[in-house]
A and B are shown apart, each in its own frame.
Chain A
């Protein structure tokens, strides 16, 4: 079990309210990702759930039990930190065993659990090493091992992959997802990387300045962003947001169109523009096109082997049914 509910939770540091009243439910077994730009309060929210910060007001309920006043270690949660926070003078074995030792479990059982965790994480060969002798990915696995042995009702990850290099990050992402599939335990994962959020989450919680902008599955957020912020934040490359007269023609203050929903046509396109920088990724090409009447350049995705050069003229047509409309208040208009 591991259903986590936040009821009207707020957090202030001094006079600064970093999290205005907030409600959120994370269902048992769900992989929830908190995503948002830095300083949006996502880490604070995670620390509130973990109990490392006290709520200024509101309740945190885990499995129908109000844990707002319960000390962190009694909440049945395990956390993996950004810096891994391994105990540097203890061997890997002792690091993983530490929470069990604190529970005063007997040694034979501790050994059994540590070996089981180490086997599942491929750490058997490193059990007697110190964290300083391990690579970034191995340290990450030790931190996860230390979380697993406690058999928590939910795992909390605080930007766990941001200290790894790009290749390792993709690998660890898969390992964490495998782990989730195997354990079927609730996981809350904090990241500022929307790609990580899109690839991992069952449920994405988009935060800005402590406020939840939208909650939903990755595809819901992609297809129907509730407001301008979510529209601009989710999706890579970013959605093109166009204001002015063009938006007025569609009866909106701002319209959004994703790069992959603009087609390059031979003639008779809706817009004509000049190609600026194009990024050739092999599979796709991202062109930055300057169109008269649109302030920012439009990002357009096209096939990989399109022959365009800097300064070429192209005709563009957005797919009408993929245009997102937003009102003056920034909210989506259906």
Chain B
């Protein structure tokens, strides 16, 4: 027994620190979510200090549950996270397989591919929404204008003129609008996080067994079947890791949402919590607990799905 006591004792400080680190914020959130606690109230000044006297039971949860905006935020969170995961993983696998071959300038291409990951989220959002997606000044506006001008010019062309005169004038899309702002967030985060997926998949591809591939070639497997039956299963674990890490990161997106439209149309759970925190700490904490539950459900669900489909 003695030889086990010493290692345990030595581990204790680290374990205690981690427990403290996690348990304190979590239990404070739990506590706040069960009491009435607001930052400012002229009518009920006693609610402005956190105290067990102000016990509200599941009142905060009920309040949040009955808000339409809460459900909208959950819906948006899921839309944004799932879309980003789907896009980054598929693009990541595609690009990783593509650059796994040898070609001149491979080193430079790889560095360039990784570089979006080094851009700060807020900067990324500002760049995308102002310089790329802006309907007037951004690349999008310029491109749409260019296409319109081209079609205009072609309308008077001799043979094809009739064909081009049937084309409508294209309208640039405003990505700050309620209907589209979530897509802007999805695009910019996908751009930023695809390199992360590429990086992980690339290292994994390099450890792929070449003799297995040769065996598959002799067994009559074409390029697609080799990819489907050897490469994809080989990537199952890294894909699970990418999905797990990204799900955790993207459930807490904030900067992009703030910058694109201040939550107009793309409000997710953290943003919703942020708005509640302006005054109602109790409701915000209840939403936080919902967010924790949601994150766990999403993570478990996604991992199960990947495990089933890829491991055969």
Contact = CB atoms under 8 A, between A and B. Distances in A.
Contact of B218 (A79, A86, A88, A89): A79
B297 interface: no
Contacts of B229: 87, 90, 98
A122 interface: no
A81 B214 contact: yes
B217 A73 contact: yes
Contact of B219 (A83, A88, A89, A102): A102
B187 interface: no
Given A87-B229, A102-B225, A79 B215 contact: yes
Interface string A67-91: 0000111000111011101111110
B93 to A, nearest CB: 16
Given A85-B212, A89-B311, A78 B230 contact: no
A78 B225 CA distance: 18
A82 B209 CA distance: 12
B220 interface: yes
A50 interface: yes
Q: Is the interface of A mostly helix, strand, loop or mixed?
A: loop
B209 A83 contact: yes
Contacts of A88: 212
A46 to B, nearest CB: 11
B221 interface: yes
A52 interface: yes
Nearest to B221: A102
A83 B211 contact: yes
B312 interface: yes
A103 interface: yes
B219 A146 contact: yes
Contacts, number: 61
Interface in A241-292: none
A26 to B, nearest CB: 18
B238 interface: no
Contacts of A90: 229, 312
A99 B217 CA distance: 10
Q: Give me the 4 closest cross-chain CB pairs, A-B, nearest first.
A: A73-B220, A85-B215, A99-B219, A102-B220
Interface string A88-128: 11100010001100110000000000000000000000000
Contact of A87 (B214, B220, B230, B236): B230
A177 to B, nearest CB: 23
Interface string B15-56: 000000000000000000000000000000000000000000
Interface in A27-83: 50-52, 71-73, 77-79, 81-83
Given A85-B209, A87-B212, A98-B229, A77 B312 contact: no
B116 interface: no
B219 A73 contact: yes
Interface string B97-141: 000000000000000000000000000000000000000000000
Contacts of A89: 233-234, 236, 311-312
Contacts of B233: 87, 89
Contacts of B216: 87, 98
Interface in B224-238: 225, 229-230, 233-234, 236
Nearest to B225: A102
A99 B225 CA distance: 11
Given A73-B220, A83-B209, A86-B212, 7 more contacts: A51-B218, A52-B217, A73-B219, A85-B209, A85-B215, A87-B233, A99-B220
Contacts of A78: 218
A150 B212 CA distance: 17
A93 B218 CA distance: 18
B218 A72 contact: yes
Contacts of A146: 215, 219
A150 B219 contact: yes
Nearest to B219: A99
Contacts of A94: 312
B162 to A, nearest CB: 49
A77 B218 contact: yes
Contact of B211 (A51, A85, A99): A85
Contacts of A79: 214-215, 218
30 contacts: A50-B218, A52-B217, A52-B218, A73-B217, A73-B220, A77-B218, A79-B214, A79-B215, A82-B211, A83-B209, A83-B211, A85-B209, A85-B212, A85-B215, A86-B212, A86-B215, A87-B216, A87-B229, A87-B230, A89-B234, A89-B236, A94-B312, A98-B216, A99-B218, A99-B220, A102-B220, A102-B221, A103-B220, A146-B219, A150-B219
